Amino acid sequence: YAQEVIRIGRETEEEMIAQRVEARLKRQEVLTVRQPPLRLHAIITEQALMLEVGSAETMSEQLDHIVKVAALPNVTVQVLTLAAGAHLAVHGGFEVLTFAHDDPPLGYIETLAGELFLESPEEIRRLTDVHKHLLSLALSPRESIKLIQEKKDGTR
């Protein structure tokens, strides 16, 4: 799945694609290998679950992976359904990184032009407000996993 996403993105050279895939897989290790593991709360749009990336088999494996990761005690996954209507996530995804120490939070947005890091309190507040709004529209974690499994069954 990661390879297909990267391939349709900015990279076309196989070596660069392989490096980016390896980096993404390595990044996921912080959820299971690092002690204590990092906390992740992801909001995924239903459109992302429906968009076939690669083959039906690739999508089925990706949906299995999401369900498996969501079962970790430090991970929460929620789905923003089509029924939620227009929302601020239509502009693209973002991350708000918070740290255990006194380090200030950091906003991160990946764009076609590159990566954007946001540091100002106003920018972080805006991203946090959007995140809270999206949470209010999203399914509960339990309902979200049920929907993901239903989507997976539809990809086979």
Domain ranges for the chain:
39-155
Q: What is the pLDDT of residue 50?
A: 86
In this prediction, residues 25-53 reach a mean pLDDT of 79
65-116: per-residue pLDDT in tens? 899 999 999 999 999 999 888 777 777 789 898 887 788 999 999 877 778 9
42-69, pLDDT tens digit by residue?
999 998 888 887 778 888 888 998 999 9
pLDDT of residue 4: 63
Sign of the Cα torsion 21, 27, 29, 33 reads: positive
| % residues pLDDT > 90 (the chain) | 42
8/107: higher pLDDT: 107
Helix (H) or strand (E) holding 132: helix 121-137
pLDDT of residue 101: 79
Q: How many CA atoms lie within 13 A of 153 on its CB side?
A: 6
The mean pLDDT of the chain is 83
CA 47 – CA 59 distance, rounded (Å):
13
Instruction: Output the six-digit token pair for 123.
Output: 């920018």
Say what the pTM is. Answer: 0.76
Q: Which residue has the tokens 């380090």?
A: 103
Provide the pLDDT for residue 156. 36
User: In this structure, are strands 114-118 and 106-111 parallel, antiparallel, or unpaired?
Assistant: antiparallel
- Locate 138 and state its tokens: 């999203």
